[in-house]
Structure 1
Amino acid sequence: MSIVITGATGQLGRLIIADLLGAGVPAGGITAVARSKEKAADLVAQGIGLHVADYDEPESFAGAFRPEDRVLLISATDAGRRVPQHAAVIDAARDAGVAQLGYVSVFGGPAADFRLADDHRETERLIVASGLPHTFLRNNWYSEMYAVNEIPGILAQGAIVTNVAPGSRIATATRADYAAAAAAVLREDGHLGRAYELSGDTAWTFEEFAEEVSRQSGRTIVHRSIDPAERAAMLIGFGVPAPFAEVLVDVDDAISRGRLAGTPGDLSRLAGRPTTPIADTIAEGLAAAQTA
């Protein structure tokens, strides 16, 4: 058995590789797919194999996979462009006849009815149509998106500002949580033909989030829910491109409709431990903000 991970030099890919190594998978049994040797130099130094390929260059995946490989396709980052990028990997995996194609998808899969899910739903359809043995890892949102990335702005404004309806819940988890589940699926048998709905053990509201930031920071933080058009204008004012601002507003609408509140327990079962509480990630975010 050998394991091949695309997008391996990203934050999630690196965590998955670290988990695999920590579980005893030999470095020589892992191949990282990356856009350049430079990005993967530290992985190669650990004995990880390397195949240089770019999602936008289908021909670069020639020879990337072998029949015995368990491949994980970590989704590309550019919403709206991902389907042809993912198709390049799927086609190469099908041509090689790989043993497993895992895909990092979105919570809800075919039932996810928000714009950011469009590329994921189509990618899942292409994988099923390829006939390859597959596993879908349908990730909910990363806790770090709120509790680390947005903390400086939250502290500056005294508020977390969304267009999420008050009282709506979201069941986030950390990248490390999702990485542990992915590593388990890659190194263990019994996951073919499965679709896992991966989310945190506990769904939280933005009011609860604000209260926890207040408790840990000693400052008064509130959740301010604003009109979607106002939120879009605010994001654009911060430099977010208008099309992506609309996507983010649409995600908040999905949260309001309960689409990201599910807690089926698949993530903690695969990871073999409880998921990371949002309070822990908030603590990480506040510590990072203090040292920035």
Structure 2
Amino acid sequence: MSDNLARLLVTGASGQLGRLVLRNLLATVPPSRVVALVRTAAAGADFASQGVELRIGDYDRPESLEAAMAGIGRVLLISSNDLARRRAQHRAVIAAAQRAGVRFLAYTSVLHADRSPLGLAADHRDTEAALTGSGLDYALLRNGWYTENYFGALAPALAHGAVLGSSGQGRISAAPRADYAAAAAAVLAGGASVAGHVFELAGDSAFTMAEFAAELSRQTGKPVTYADLPKADYKSVLLGAGLPEPVAELVADSSEAARGDTLFDDSRTLSGLIGRPTVPLAESLAVALTVV
């Protein structure tokens, strides 16, 4: 079957990124070609009503994955958010794809995974190694930071007049999750020309955390500054706010790593894939502030 007729499966389809990918696919290909991998039928009921086939599968139940991929030509593996188990989960998906005869698999990795000092990059490097050694055609979607990563703390930042972090003057080339989803859909629905490609995906423009705080202040009319903290102190704040220890460590580690421009990229590969500029911080922030 040609790539123009192959069925397209999205794993993690009921998650935030997965749902956006499905929405983009349905705007460009017939629903009969789109398959959503979900844990329960209820999780994907709204897409089933649009003609998307649901396949039941679970990263933690490898035996469910091969059957879920039967007849599938191209797969998007959306990385798991289970910090303790995702290496094994990702490898289970790749192995199931091999057994099911999938021809192409795209994986959502992290920006510059091969050289990134981010603690979370190690899991992505492991998955990339498994994929590149699998014999499958593949593409690596190395996603930069989601702009939304910074919106969960808008309310306390406005309440206390401070954005907290450990990023110094590091530049962050963030883009909204929807922009990365559009790129993933384009690659999944694309032809053989994307096989073997490594896409370093990031926003067209970058900001420092001080610039983020200044934009937040500008849009709200409230004084907000950036308070740069040592990693340990920032992690303590996150723990005090109720984040679990592994999550607090990941957030603090990522913030500190950004100090060295780890989250910066000016290749404009993302906007090239989606055929338009990425949405800038000011526009995304304005939308986020409507619900704070």
- TM-score when normalising by structure 1: 0.95
Q: Which runs of 5+ in 1 are unaligned?
A: none
Once the two structures are superposed, the pairs formed by residues 99-178 of structure 1 within 5 Å of their partners are 99-146=103-150, 148-165=151-168, 167-178=169-180
CA contact (8 A) 1:97 1:132 kept: no
Counterpart AA for 2:180:
Y
How far 1:80 moved relative to its partner?
A: 3.0
**Cα distance in 2, alignment partners of residues 55 and 68 from structure 1:** 17
- Partner in structure 2 of residue 192 of structure 1: 195
CA contact (8 A) 2:66 2:100 kept: no
Residue 54 in structure 1 maps to residue 62 in structure 2: no
What's the Cα RMSD here? 1.1
**Cα distance in 1, alignment partners of residues 129 and 160 from structure 2:** 42
- TM-score when normalising by structure 2: 0.95
Equivalent residues, number:
286
Once the two structures are superposed, the pairs formed by residues 197-216 of structure 1 within 5 Å of their partners are 197-216=200-219
How far 1:81 moved relative to its partner?
A: 1.6
**Cα distance in 1, alignment partners of residues 242 and 77 from structure 2:** 30
CA contact (8 A) 2:183 2:274 kept: yes
How far 1:284 moved relative to its partner?
A: 1.1
CA contact (8 A) 1:80 1:119 kept: no
- Partner in structure 1 of residue 224 of structure 2: 221
How far 1:68 moved relative to its partner?
A: 5.3
- Partner in structure 2 of residue 9 of structure 1: 14
**Cα distance in 1, alignment partners of residues 32 and 27 from structure 2:** 14
- Partner in structure 1 of residue 183 of structure 2: 181
Q: Which runs of 5+ in 2 are unaligned?
A: 1-5
- Partner in structure 2 of residue 18 of structure 1: 23
How far 1:67 moved relative to its partner?
A: 5.8
Counterpart AA for 1:249:
A
CA contact (8 A) 2:108 2:143 kept: yes
Counterpart AA for 1:4:
L
- Partner in structure 2 of residue 29 of structure 1: 33
Once the two structures are superposed, the pairs formed by residues 256-275 of structure 1 within 5 Å of their partners are 256-275=259-278
Once the two structures are superposed, the pairs formed by residues 67-86 of structure 1 within 5 Å of their partners are 69-86=73-90
Counterpart AA for 1:97:
G
**Cα distance in 1, alignment partners of residues 66 and 111 from structure 2:** 31
CA contact (8 A) 2:173 2:263 kept: yes
